[in-house]
A and B are shown apart, each in its own frame.
Chain A
Amino acid sequence: MATRRQFIRISAMGAGAVAAGAAGVRLFGSALTDGQKATVAALTGRTPTYCEVCFWKCAGWVYKDEKGTIQKIIGNNEDMNCNGRFCPRGTGGVGMYYDEDRLRTPLIRTEERGRQSFREATWEEAFDYIAEKIRVISAEHGPECLALFTHGSGGKYFSTLLRALGSPHVAAPSYAQCRGPREVAFQATFGETIESPERTDIRDTSCLVLIGSHIGENMHNGQVQEMSDAIDKGATIITVDPRYSTAAGKSKYWLPIKPATDLALLLAWINVIITEELYDKPYVEKYTYGFEYLKEHVKNMTPEWAYGITTIDPTVIRETAREMANAAPAVIVHPGRHVTWYGDDTQRIRAVAILNALLGSWGRRGGFFRPEVFELPEPPHPAYPTPKRSWRTEFPDLYKMADTVLANGLCDATIPDPSRHCQFQGWIVNGTNLIETLPNQANTIAAIQALQLLVVIDTMPMEITGWADVVLPECTYLERYDDLRVGPHRKPQIALRAPAAEPMYNTKPAFWMARELAKRLGLIEYFPFETMEEQLDWQLKQVGSSLEEMKKIGVKTFDRPYDDLYFAPDEDVEFYTGTGRIELYSLALEEAGYDPLPKYTMHEEPPEGYYRLNYGRAPMHTFSRTANNPNLTDLMEENSVWVNPRVAKEWGLSTGQYVHLMNQDGKRSEFPIKVRVTERIRWDSVYMVHGFGHDQKKLRRCYGKGASDTNLITKVLVDPIMGGTGMRGNFVTFITDLNAEEVAS
C-alpha cells in the first residue's frame, strides 16, 4: 500500500519515512516527547543570533531547555530580514550544531593532496605550520600570492589578516559564480548595485516579473515572505522559466521559454513598451540617457521576431508587457540572484535594468527602494600595506568591468603558466566548498595541486578539506560571536550573534584563529581587541548601544537619516553614472569596448539525445553546505533529475529509477541519480537541485546521495565583461545500465 510517507517521497517534497541511515542520528534526548508536557516555560534561556545557514542572515533567538541543551531557533520579530519567521534551513540550523560528522580538531596532512590522510594536531602546531609557510611564500613570491576565498562571517577576520600581510586577493564565489553580472549591469545602468538582501519592494508591488528566478524554491526569506504578501494583495506574477517552478504555479502568466533565449524576450518586451508608448515618459525624459539609441536598437525586435527564438506566443509577449506597464511604477522585473548562465549574463541583466528604467520602477514604491546600511565604526588599526601586484594584471584586457576579485580568476592564475608573473602560492578557504562551488572541477584541482599552502577553515569535512594541508575546525555560529550584521534594508538595523553554547569538541571561532595567526606573523596591531566581546562592546558604545543591551534585544533598528526610501515627486536625482543619468545606453560599457546596448546572441543547443542541464535550489538546503545536516537531510536526503514524460518514454525511464548522467565532454556523474518523471520540465532540458552527490566519505549522511551538477559542468561560458562563469551551457544524456553494485545499493 502506498502510505502517505511513501507518497511524499515520490513527490520529493517534505519529510520522508524513517530515513535510511537515521541510526546514529541524535534523537532529542529530552523526556518531553508528546508536546503536551513540553510547556513553553520549560524553555528558559534565549540567546540572540543571526543565522549562518545561508547568506540572508536572519536574526533570531536560540532557545535552550532546562538542561542547557539547544532546542530550537526562532526568528526575532524586530528583524527586517525575517520578521520573526525563520526558513526551514534556519529552523533546522540546530542540525549544524548537533551534526556528529563535524570537524573536531585541527588536522595536518600527512600524504599527498586529496588522499585524505591527516594527523590530528594541536592549535599551536597548526598555526606554526601555517605561519611558517606564509612567511616563506611572502618572502619568495610576495604576499600578493596569497589568496582568501570566503563565504561566511569568519572571512572578515582572515580578510583583515590577508590585507595586513599586503594581499588584496579576497574573493567570494558569490560574485563571479552567482550575482556578479547583475551588480555590474545595474551599476552600469543606475550607478548602483542591488546588493543583498535585494532592494526589491516586492511587498508593495503590483506586478512581479521573475526570469528564471525561483523564489520559494530559493528560500531567500524576506523575499519569499514579501512575494506571499504580494499574492495576498492580488499582485500579478509573471514567471519566465522552462521549468514549471513553484513561483510559476503562483503566476497569472507562466512563459515556458526555450532555455537560453531570455534576452530575446526581454528585448521584445522593450520593443513593445517603446512601440506602444507604454513607458513612463516624464521619468524617461527626466532621468535617462540614450532613449533614442535604444528605440532605434530594438525597432526590429518585435514579439514576432522573439517568437521564433523563444517559442513564446507574440500575443502573450504583448499582453505581459502591457500588464507590466499597467502596474508601473509598482512593477519589478526582478534582477535575479544566481545569474551566471550563458556568458552574456551582464548584457541580459542590462536588458532587465533597461526595462525597469522604462517602467520607472527604480526608486519607486512597489519597484526598487533605496536601502540604508548602518554605519558602524571599525576597530582602529594601522593602514594596510599597499599591494604591489593585482590579479588583474594576469588578465590583460579581460573582465574590465569586474569590480571585485574573481574567485575563478584566482583559481586560473594559480595554475602554472609562463605568461603569468605571480602564480598564487597559498590559499585560505573559509566556509566555501570550492570543489562544489567553482565549475570545472578538474581546473580547481589542478590549481590546488600547484599550491604551497592550502588552509581550510570549516565546520564540516566538506570536499575541499580533503585537499587541504591544514584543516582548522571552526565552531558553528551557535557557539561564537561574530561581527554585527548591519544591513542593507528599508531602515538601518543591527543584529547581534552571541554564543548560545560553548564550542563543542576542539573547535574555535574564526576571529580567534585569525588573531592567533596575526600574533605569529607580527601583525597583532591589526587586531586591537583581544576578544570579540570587547570589540563588539566598543563598537556598540560608539553608536549609543552596548553589548549588554544587544544581548537582551538581539536586533536594534534606527531611523533613516532622511525620508528618502523612494524618489520624491520630481526629485532631481543624481545617478552615479558617467552622465549622472540612468544610462539606457551605457557609455561605460562602450568605453571599455563592450556593447553599449544588449544584443541577442544565439547559444549552443543540445545535440541529439542530450538535454540542457539546469539546476537550482531546494528550500530546505543551502548549496552543498547543508547536505549532511541531520534535520535538513530528513526533509530532503537526495536530489533527483527531472525528466519530461515525453523524454522518459523515449528512454524508457520511470520515476524512482536510478540513472547516471553523462555530459557532452564524456564526464559521467560520480553517483547515480533518481529519476523524477514530471510535467514540470520542458522536453529539451533536465533539472536537478544543486548541492548533492558528495564524494567525501566523512560526510556519512550524504555521501553518495544523488548527483553533483558541478561535477557535470565542465564547459564554462565566461562573461567577457566581468568574468562570471556561465554554467548553463552543459548538456547531458542518460546512462541507464548501472553496474550490479549500484543496482544493489
Chain B
Amino acid sequence: MRYAMAVDSRKCVGCSDCVVACQTENNVPIGFCRDWVVEVIDGTYPQLEIELRSERCNHCDNAPCVRCCPTGASHIVEGGVVLVKPNRCIGCGACIASCPYDARYPHPKGYVDKCTFCIHRVREGMKPACVAVCPTKCMYFGDLDDPNSDVSVVLKKRKYKTLIPEAGTKPQLYFLI
C-alpha cells in the first residue's frame, strides 16, 4: 500500500478551502497551517501563464525528516504516511530544517506538526478533509498500489510533476500539468 495525492493545477482556483478545511478538521490553531496554496506567474502582460497549486507534506518515500529525528517522534505508518508523535517530539526543529518543502511548523504546544493525509479519516474509508471539501475537485487521493484508485487512474491519464525531485526525497504529492 502506498498512499499518494495528485493535485490538478488546471482546475485549482487557489481558494484556500483546503487550508481552512484542514484547520477545522485537525484543530490546527489559527495562524498556522498544514497545507497552503502557491501561485506562480510566468510571462509578461498579456502573454501570461498561471499555476495555482495546493501544497502540503509530500509524505516522501525517502523522508529526511524521519531520518534526522533524534527521538523517533517522526515516523512512517501504513501507506508510507509520515506522522509525528507529539508526546515524543522535543521541538528541536531538525525536521523543519531538513524538509525541502517547508511542510512542518512548530505547534504552540511545543511539538512539530504537519499534514497527516488525514489518516484518521482514511482509516475510516473517507478522503482527507482537503480532498473532500475542494469545490473544484482538483485533488485526487488513494493507494498507488491499487490501479483503480482515484490517484492511480488520474496519474495514468495525465502528465504530472513533483516538486524539487532533485532533493531525492521521492515525494508522493503529484501535480497534474
Contact = CB atoms under 8 A, between A and B. Distances in A.
A231 interface: yes
Contact of A38 (B26, B50, B133): B26
A402 B173 CA distance: 53
B98 to A, nearest CB: 14
A552 B5 CA distance: 33
Q: What 3 A-B pairs are tightest by C-beta distance, nearest first? A: A216-B13, A14-B37, A4-B102
A668 B177 CA distance: 44
Contacts of B85: 34
B128 to A, nearest CB: 10
A683 to B, nearest CB: 8
Contact of B38 (A13, A94, A256, A634): A13
Interface in B53-102: 83-86, 101-102
A221 B86 CA distance: 36
Given A85-B133, A221-B135, A40 B126 contact: yes
A679 B20 contact: no
A25 B135 contact: no
Using C-beta atoms within 8 Å of the partner chain, give the interface range for chain A. Answer: 35 or more
A51 B15 CA distance: 17
A113 interface: no
Nearest to A6: B102
Contacts of A68: none
Instruction: Identify whether the interface residues of B are mostly helix, strand, loop, or mixed.
Output: loop
Contacts of B49: 249
A441 interface: no
A542 interface: no
Given A28-B27, A85-B132, 8 more contacts: A35-B25, A40-B126, A74-B133, A88-B16, A91-B133, A229-B137, A619-B15, A634-B23
Contacts of A87: 15, 17, 135
Contacts of A33: 26-27, 86, 107, 109, 113
A72 B116 contact: no
Interface string B1-35: 00000000011011111011101111111111100
Given A85-B133, A620-B16, A680-B41, A35 B30 contact: no
Contacts of A228: 11, 13, 135-138
A232 interface: yes
B161 interface: no
A644 interface: yes
A246 interface: yes
B45 A682 contact: yes
Nearest to B138: A228
Contacts of B37: 8, 13-15
A11 B39 contact: yes
Contacts of B25: 35, 38, 72
B118 interface: yes
Contact of A679 (B21, B27, B48, B137): B48
Interface in A595-638: 619-620, 630-632, 634-636
Given A15-B33, A27-B30, A682-B45, A35 B119 contact: yes
A38 B120 contact: yes
25 contacts: A4-B101, A13-B39, A33-B109, A33-B113, A34-B86, A35-B116, A35-B120, A84-B132, A87-B17, A88-B19, A224-B13, A224-B15, A225-B136, A228-B11, A228-B135, A246-B13, A248-B48, A250-B13, A619-B15, A619-B17, A620-B16, A632-B20, A634-B20, A635-B16, A635-B19
Contact of B41 (A4, A217, A619, A678): A678
A681 B48 CA distance: 11
A246 B135 CA distance: 15
B134 to A, nearest CB: 7
Interface of B: 10-11, 13-17, 19-21, 23-33, 36-41, 43-46, 48-50, 52, 83-86, 101-103, 107-109, 111, 113, 116, 118-121, 124, 126, 132-138
Nearest to B86: A34
A82 B134 CA distance: 11
A18 interface: yes
A13 B14 contact: yes
Nearest to B24: A72
Most chain-B Cβ atoms within 10 A of its Cβ — which of A36, A75, A635? A36
B55 to A, nearest CB: 8
A130 B119 CA distance: 55
Contact of B21 (A82, A91, A644): A91
Most chain-A Cβ atoms within 10 A of its Cβ — which of B108, B111, B136? B136
B17 A8 contact: no
Nearest to B96: A3
Contact of B32 (A18, A40, A75, A636): A18
Interface string A437-463: 000000000000000000000000000
A161 B143 CA distance: 58
Interface in A238-285: 244, 246, 248-250, 254, 256
A375 B83 CA distance: 52
Interface string A219-231: 1010011011101
A731 interface: no
A541 interface: no
A678 B48 CA distance: 11
A217 B13 CA distance: 7
Contact of A15 (B13, B19, B43, B126): B19
Nearest to A15: B33
Contacts of A92: 20, 24
A34 B113 contact: yes
Nearest to B26: A35
A680 B39 CA distance: 12
